[in-house]
Amino acid sequence: MALDGLRDAHDAWWKSAVVYQIYPRSFADSNGDGIGDLAGITARLDYLKELGVDVLWLSPVYPSPQDDNGYDISDYRDIEPLFGTLADFDRLLASVHERGMRLVMDLVVNHTSDEHPWFRESREGPNSAKRDWYWWRPARKGGDATGEGAGSESAGLVSAGSESAGSESAAPNNWGSFFSGSAWQHDVASGEYYLHLFSPKQPDLNWENPQVRQAVYALMRWWLDRGVDGFRMDVINLISKDPDLPDGALHGDGLYGDGSPYYICGPRVHEYLQEMHREVFAGRPERLLTVGEMPGVTLEHARLFTDPARGEVDMVFQFEHVGLDFGRSKFDVRPLRLTDLKASLGRWQSGLAEVGWNSLYWNNHDQPRIVSRFGDDGPEHRVRSATMLGTVLHLHRGTPYVYQGEELGMTNAPFASIEDVHDIEARGHYAQAVRAGEDPARVLDGLRARGRDNARTPMQWDASEHAGFTTGIPWLPVNPNHTTINAAAAVADPESVYHHYRRLIALRHSEPAVVHGDFTMLLADDERLYAFTRRYRDTTLLVLANFTGEAVPVPADLAAEWADVPLVLGNAGPIDATVLRPWEARVHRRV
Ligand code: ISL
Ligand code: CA
């Protein structure tokens, strides 16, 4: 394994790869039921091949009650009927491989669905053989289990404290869930509570139990044996909890405590991932990709997780750069300071320079659209700001991830009212905030800026009625701007965001300095320009980008040094060495 590690550290194929994330529900519907499916993806593979991406990551396609759009899995070894069958999956996988691409599955094993047979058995009672597969605890001493959660009874379960939570709650501890409310659900039959860091329909698995771990490793091997090329591991840094489950410091709202110190990168997380690596990945001849999604991960932990010699994961998704514009919460919008972004990404660049590897992303199915967030999605600047953002990201050192529609410069969606909002996180937040007395119109503004549905409106294939996504009624309405922002128009226009992304991906494939070059941040204190160099052997690349809607002069020394150095990529036509146009980005190459 140590030898494996050494070889991987230098030549790992995924260092020069670009990953494309597909959210199957919203990508392409083949049968007119309004929900994207596997056959729809298979039919669109040539588009992805043309874009040039190397790997496809599918958000979950397993059977699921869809409480959290498939991140609540009820069977790890089958395909959700809405999306197709295992035969459809095998066809998709074969078609991906035929085109020389790879396919990575989403692995959601911090929790299951409450409808998974493991949890059904666990819930049978304290003597169930699988009781210990989840986190069951008795009511807190002195708490009053009967007085709370009024009105939220469902299937014999009472929510621990949506009305009268906080310190009086009988829940075993005071943790809040990511989706509002308590992280505990009361089970009337046994009088006990189970832990759910996400929705009550997503009970957390107890990784302390070795049978749980072996069951997870077995299902992973099952998919690898079927031919998949790796996993994106959902909230994998939350799997180890402090078994004492101590109360957390109270949140600003005074209702719930912050349990994250007791479950983010918990005491045994590295041990578990090393065990997983030994049990699942070690010794497989295939070339696989593993990426751990890790909210709250620090650079120090990330270095451990991605050190090839330790055998944990190839890379992690960290969240620092997508939290810089949060106020009191993610829904409290604060403008981004460019110097904060540079400080953060720059720190991750240097922190993982010698050991480990970065993933690079602006978007995924949980994030608002980047052109609406850090760029300008109005008609004048949308294309140029989207291509600038893509250029800056893809020229960092690490493996870039493109989220479906990002390559078209797709924008946030104009939700008219809470009725238009589908996502469980957004609806929970809205209910809690309005109950707490916040102005509903302002809460909705926060959702418009930050809600996860922004990323989930259907892929915009063409200008037709439902954007070519479906012939039926889409499960979430298409963005009305699909009449101008769509794949057909973008493919036909050489100046489109799509063709710029295609050129960025091609540049990574042809230019070793993009993959391996070292990274030096320039102009760290500048609030308008993002600038850095990448150097590999005799090649130096300079990346220069304007993060504003105004022309910005290039500092004289940089302008003088690079004036005659050819451009390998730009987004604004012929350049003026002394000034960057609004949202302009350039990549110079000196040998
Ligand atoms: O988007 C978020 C809420 O602010 C994040 O906290 C998100 O919930 C977190 O990054 C974990 O995300 C992953 O696990 C969730 C699922 O809802 C997300 O879609 C998934 O990406 C639970 O499985
Ligand atoms: Ca369908």
Tens of pLDDT, residues 355-385: 999 999 999 999 999 999 999 999 999 999 9
Q: CA-CA distances (angstroms) from residue 70 to 24, 107, 157? A: 10, 11, 22
Backbone angles phi, psi at 491, to 5 degrees: -65, -35
**Measured distance CA(543)–CA(315) in Å, rounded:** 24
Is 332 an annotated catalytic residue?
no
- Residue 147, pLDDT > 80, answer no
Give 99's contacts (C-beta < 8 A, 6+ positions apart).
45, 46, 49
Q: How far apart, in whole angstroms, are the C-alpha atoms of residue 94 and residue 42? A: 10
3 has a pLDDT exceeding 70: no
CATH architecture of 3-110+206-413+457-498: Alpha-Beta Barrel (3.20)
172 CB burial (10 A radius; 0-12, 13-18, 19+): buried
Tell me the pTM: 0.95
Q: Give the residue extent of every domain in the chain.
A: 3-110+206-413+457-498, 117-195, 515-590
What's the DSSP call for residue 472? S
List, chain by chain if needed, residues with CB within 6 Å of any ligand 1 atom: 68, 71, 108, 178, 198, 234-235, 293, 295, 330, 365-366, 425, 452
Alpha helix stretches (DSSP H) within 190-268: 210-226
Residue whose CA lies nearest to ligand 1 atom number 19 = 366
Q: Which of 495, 488, 435 is nearest to 464 (CA)?
A: 488
CA of 28, nearest ligand number: 2
Query: Residue 175 Cα, ligand 1 centroid: separation in angstroms?
Result: 17
pLDDT at residue 146 greater than cutoff 60: no
- The atom number, within ligand 1, closest to the CA of 425 reads 3
Among 196, 297, 366, the mutation site with the greatest number of ligand 1 atoms within 8 A of its Cβ is 366
Rounded to the nearest angstrom, the distance between the alpha carbon of 76 and the centre of ligand 1 is: 19
Q: Residues 420-478: pLDDT tens digits?
A: 999 999 999 999 999 999 999 999 999 999 999 999 999 999 999 999 999 999 999 99
> Closest Cα partner for 104 from 282, 223, 10?
223
> Which residue has its alpha carbon closest to ligand 1 atom 23?
71
Strand 249-250 to 257-258 pairing:
antiparallel
SS3 content of the chain, % helix, strand, coil (to 5): 35, 15, 50
Residue 6 above 70 pLDDT? no
Q: Measured between alpha carbons, how far is 457 from 492 in angstroms, rounded to an integer? A: 23
Q: What ligand is nearest to the CA atom of residue 366?
A: 1
CATH code, residues 117-195: 3.90.400.10
Q: Which amino acid is at 528?
A: R
Ligand 1 atom nearest 68 alpha carbon: 17
* Average pLDDT, integer, range 227-256: 94
The residue among 323, 324, 175 whose CA lies nearest residue 262 is: 175
Q: Ligand 1 centre from 178 Cα, in Å? A: 8
Q: Are 156 and 189 in contact (CB under 8 A)?
A: yes
Task: Kindly report the number of other CB atoms within 10 A of residue 219's CB atom.
Answer: 17
Whether residue 528 has pLDDT greater than 50: yes
Asked if the domains at 3-110+206-413+457-498 and 515-590 fall in one CATH topology, the answer is no
Q: Does domain 515-590 have CATH number 3.40.228.10?
A: no
Centre of ligand 1 to C-alpha 181, Å, is 16
Residue 199 CA to ligand 1 centre (angstroms): 11
Name the active-site residue from 68, 114, 148, 234. 234
Q: Which atom number of ligand 1 is nearest to the Cα of residue 295?
A: 10
Determine the residue of 21, 26, 179, 235 to mutate for testing ligand 1's pocket, defined as the one with the most ligand atoms within 8 A of the Cβ atom: 235
Q: Where are the beta strands (DSSP E) in 132-222?
A: 136-137, 153-154, 157-159, 184-187, 193-195
Closest atom of ligand 1 relative to the 364 alpha carbon:
21
Residue 115 is among the residues annotated as catalytic for this protein: no
Q: Which residues contact 494 (CB under 8 A, 6 or more apart)?
A: none
Given a cut of 70, whether residue 35 has pLDDT beyond it is yes
204, 229, 293, 453: which is the annotated catalytic residue?
293
Question: Which one of 71, 179, 401 would you pick to mutate in the ligand 1 pocket, going by the greatest count of ligand atoms within 8 A of its CB?
Answer: 71
CA-nearest residue for atom 12, ligand 1, is: 235
Q: From the CA of 67, how far away is ligand 2's center (Å)?
A: 18
The single-letter code of the amino acid at 88 is D
Q: Is residue 570 pLDDT above 50, yes or no?
A: yes
Looking at ligand 1, which residue's alpha carbon is closest to its atom 11? 235
pLDDT-based confidence at 148, cuts 50/70/90?
A: very low
Nearest ligand to the C-alpha of residue 429? 1
Cα 57 → chain centroid: 11
Q: Which ligand is nearest to the CA of 73?
A: 1
29-33, 247-251, 269-273, 315-319: range with lowest mean pLDDT: 247-251
- Per-residue confidence (pLDDT) for residue 105, from 0 to 100: 98
Categorize the per-residue pLDDT at 157 as very low, low, confident or very high, splitting at 50, 70 and 90.
very low
**What's the 459 CA to ligand 2 centre distance in angstroms?**
13
Ligand number nearest CA of 40 is 2
Residue 198 alpha carbon, nearest atom of ligand 1? 22
Task: Give the nearest ligand 1 atom to 452 CA.
Answer: 1
Residue 154 CA to ligand 2 center (angstroms) comes to 29
Q: What is the pLDDT of residues 320-335, one digit of tens each?
A: 999 999 999 999 999 9
